[in-house]
Structure 1
């Protein structure tokens, strides 16, 4: 039966608690959902009797309303043209730049001119363009880190404290940087790590990344908090295209089980369980882009000051289970079936060992892109001690068992960063923000251009370090003496090449 068509004049009458609150995403009665909305009732009241599509679409997957509202709350579809359009928003002021003229005087500020894609030479360039061209809400959400953003900066600068030790006079006529990640082929040791709310940057959202991943032969990790629906991203994949799934565990374990089992049926190959977010970190830049409508009485309790929404991240994440612990691993493994289980967000060698001992297939050394605990370590800085600890216990390459794999994410902007991680024992690295920035600024073509930049950098740098293949990228090719030596309490962990890597690798040193 076709849904009932609703006149916009009728919708406009339902704009308060007294009349009921209808919003157009089709037409829904949100009155009873006001207090349950993770972002607070004010944003819904702000759009009462209006079209909320532009606000809703970027931060919700398509099935969010269906999953949270009783079907009876779906009033119908809007009669086209029957709802008065909202007053046009003031045009954003163009980003200004200053130009110095020959007299030494400062010229009048000029509007920012977006470079042609051919002028983009590095991943840093995409970020620079995004800073000038993205809307404030999207930029603040994507670029924000926790507290003082120390860890977010360290994620990148840590790589700069690792120096290459290039080898010479090796035949590097041909170089091959293809690899396997969890047994699946990839054109390079890079995967698209999970990042939320893709439609804040591009109207098509994460499916742009799905298509680009296939175009360049890499693997996409589907995010739980995507703007696109899970099935939408799976349907956008080419036949045989490998996808992983990042999972925030829901406090309702039955919903978690349903999500995992559905992912398995749709062909997802690995489950990356986020373990570093029992509560979301304080991302102040994102918080400053809170919903900015007038506060309603429903946001004040007992005369207290309004507790404003804490940005896009907090508004979409209240379901995450803070009780998740090691005791839940058997349940998750059972739900996963044939899918591999990876713990994403490991930040110490002790937890990497526990993951291996409890039968997980790998870990991602990650601090959530510097968005959780500020002054947590960069993943690359703890990689040597994790490899050492796993090898000392015979857990990294157990005889006759599948390989326990270590991955790293956070701060990667160059192929040289990836090669340093590979040299120190990582299978691959996850890249996040650069994909968002390239997608937000130049769409599908931008993402493909970014991946080609990385491929060109791999080819050049593998020749320059003397490594025809990734198996030739060994520990002796990097000097980590400038990294802070990891400590446990007051005891030095004692990392050295003799304990870090198995005999087969050491033979190549």
Structure 2
């Protein structure tokens, strides 16, 4: 059957696997996904993950590889209906014999022996368990940072340069660390920040984080590059649960406009435009994993010119517009009434310009250390930004958030003392979800709440509005040569870069 001829499924009958297998050439390519056949011959060239991975599964069942990477509505959005060929009798599809993988056998043994959830007492514990139990490609994607990963590690260690100046003899019997972020009441001043490809760590993906956020009354930021569809994540929310949206801006502004307008209709409470990723950074762990089985929640508009050897991150991001600039902000303000926040601001001058442009907030962030190596940590930028804003009496004109490296409630408290409205936490919840599912996310959030209550008491504050700069000593923060105490937990879970021929330690 030529792919240009009409594809007709026999009446009252499913496709037979033997018929699907005949369509396995570059000029006639069908695949099976979730028990249905699709003609992807013409789509191959536009696939954000490249055509090679499609050809690998030509005439075969691609579900196992497709599922963790693509939202369920991807085929409906990006493949014309005449290429949806109908159901397949899966009992007639030949099962491929997978070669034995000693590494996978070892991983399964580690899963059988993994610690019980109750043995995790801090966020680093979840990372340690996830490192030993996740698939290599998933771990490489989640844990990788840019280049030498200096910034990724500094994000965490920068908090160790800030010391407390606690108050004593304060009435701290009743502690209230609830707050308001972008007009939404929250139980604690952190939010689940956007992280891509949730199904790499858990088959249910980002909806697990949605459920955890609901239980603990915290905000979830929905990522553009989620494994679940945007609507699937929105539908998982309950009781008018607040959600924000992270946006990578597409070169095709009409696509971006449709995404933004749809988000507003769904009740999203904040639009976080990522501004630190005109091109995604080199994440060498991800690149070495040779993870090319990738797709995305969005449609590429630039053809197939992306170097697919650059790992998952780059392969799914070819649609991002490197031409995004300050002149685009009035257009965003014209198409939505949602609060607009710039995510990825890294210097005082740009915070000032953002205020002058009339945006509602900024996130001081270096993308979790995944973009420009040797970019300063968000907490260091915060310590520089707030005094300048206070000199101008501008501190109340904008909401300031920080993300990157937050692992303890003391980190949250330090950020709030310096003037942040709240902090974003990403990887720790991914690791908790990957290792233990929803119970892991639940416990991770509860551990932070328990730490928060204890440390608020110990610093001498009973509510968030009492946190202020006099409670911290930041003199060492801007001195990059200053020795800081060795962080045993952080060093133990850090996965060092490796050279060719070496194996990463597990």
TM-score (norm 1): 0.86
- Which residue is equivalent to 1:506? none
Cα distance per residue 1:326-381 (max 9 Å; x no partner): 111011112122x1000000001111111111110000000000000111110000
- Which residue is equivalent to 1:417? 411
C-alpha separation in 2, matches of 1:206 and 1:111: 22
| 8 Å CA contact retained: 2:29, 2:59 | no
- Which residue is equivalent to 1:267? 267
Question: In the TM superposition, what are the counterparts of 1:274-313 in structure 2 within 5 Å?
Answer: 274-291=274-291, 308-313=308-313
- Which residue is equivalent to 1:22? 31
1:336 equivalent to 2:336? Answer yes
Q: CA shift at 1:67, angstroms?
A: 2.2
The Cα RMSD (Å) is 2.2
- Where structure 2 has 5 or more consecutive residues not aligned to the other structure, the ranges are 1-8, 294-305, 481-506
Segment of structure 1 superposing worse, 11-20 or 165-174 = 11-20
SS in 1 for 2:462: coil
- Which residue is equivalent to 1:369? 368
Cα distance per residue 1:400-447 (max 9 Å; x no partner): xxx410000000000000000000000000000001000000000100
1:446 equivalent to 2:440? Answer yes
Cα distance change of structure 1 residues 240 and 18 upon mapping to structure 2, 3 Å threshold:
closer
Question: In the TM superposition, what are the counterparts of 1:349-368 in structure 2 within 5 Å?
Answer: 349-368=348-367
- Which residue is equivalent to 1:491? none
| 8 Å CA contact retained: 2:250, 2:256 | yes
C-alpha separation in 1, matches of 2:292 and 2:254: 35
Q: CA shift at 1:203, angstroms?
A: 0.5
C-alpha separation in 1, matches of 2:13 and 2:254: 33
| 8 Å CA contact retained: 2:110, 2:132 | no
1:9 equivalent to 2:9? Answer no
C-alpha separation in 2, matches of 1:231 and 1:328: 26
TM-score (norm 2): 0.87
- Which residue is equivalent to 1:127? 127
SS in 2 for 1:244: strand
C-alpha separation in 1, matches of 2:13 and 2:152: 49
| 8 Å CA contact retained: 2:362, 2:400 | yes
SS in 2 for 1:59: coil
Segment of structure 1 superposing worse, 461-470 or 109-118 = 109-118
- Which residue is equivalent to 2:296? none
| 8 Å CA contact retained: 1:158, 1:380 | yes
| 8 Å CA contact retained: 2:172, 2:461 | yes
Cα distance change of structure 1 residues 190 and 307 upon mapping to structure 2, 3 Å threshold:
closer
Cα distance change of structure 1 residues 240 and 20 upon mapping to structure 2, 3 Å threshold:
closer
Matched positions, count: 457
Cα distance per residue 1:244-302 (max 9 Å; x no partner): 00011111101111111111111001100000001000111111122479xxxxxxxxx
Question: In the TM superposition, what are the counterparts of 1:374-453 in structure 2 within 5 Å?
Answer: 374-397=373-396, 403-453=397-447
C-alpha separation in 1, matches of 2:479 and 2:265: 44
